[in-house]
Amino acid sequence: MNGILAVDGYTGYLVIAYGVTALVVVGNLVAARRQFRRVHLRLREQLERRSGRRPVPGSSQASGRVGGAGGNEATVGRNQ
């Protein structure tokens, strides 16, 4: 059987080349997903702080906000 199972002494080179490419492909996928999640979450939190309304369900501030509806940025904080 030709191919990867019969590589003539080049296994190490092939593993490095395909490994680096796989890392780049997976890395791009993970980085793009993380970037979207991070931006989405950060903007939601900014929006909540600015509007001073009740936090959007699911955001990280939903349980950390001490200010209620009608509050402003000075009254809104996180329980840390």
Partner 1 sequence: MWNWFFKLASPPHFYALAGKLSYWLLVPAILLLAIGTWGGLILAPPDYQQGDAFRIIYVHVPSAYLSMLIYVTMAVAGAIGLIWRIKLAHAVAASCAPIGASFTFAALVTGAVWGKPMWGTYWEWDPRLTAELILLFLYFGYMGLRGAFENLTQADRASAVLAIAGVVNVPIIHFSVIWWASLHQGPTLSKLEAPSISGDMLWPLLTMILAFTLFFLGILAMRVRAEVLEREVQSRWAQDMLRGASPVGVDL
Which positions touch partner 1 (CB under 8 A)?
A: 1-10, 13-14, 16-18, 20-21, 24-25, 27-29, 31-33, 35-41, 43-44, 46-47, 56-58
Looking at beta carbons only, is 1 or 69 nearer to partner 1? 1
Q: Smaller CB distance to partner 1: residue 32 or 66? A: 32
DSSP 13-77: HHHHHHHHHHHHHHHHHHHHHHHHHHHHHHHHHHHHHHHT-PPPTTSTTTTTB---TT--TTT--
Which C-beta is closer to partner 1: that of 4 or that of 66?
A: 4
As measured in angstroms, the least distance from the Cβ of 45 to partner 1 is 10
User: How is residue 59 written in tokens?
Assistant: 């955001």
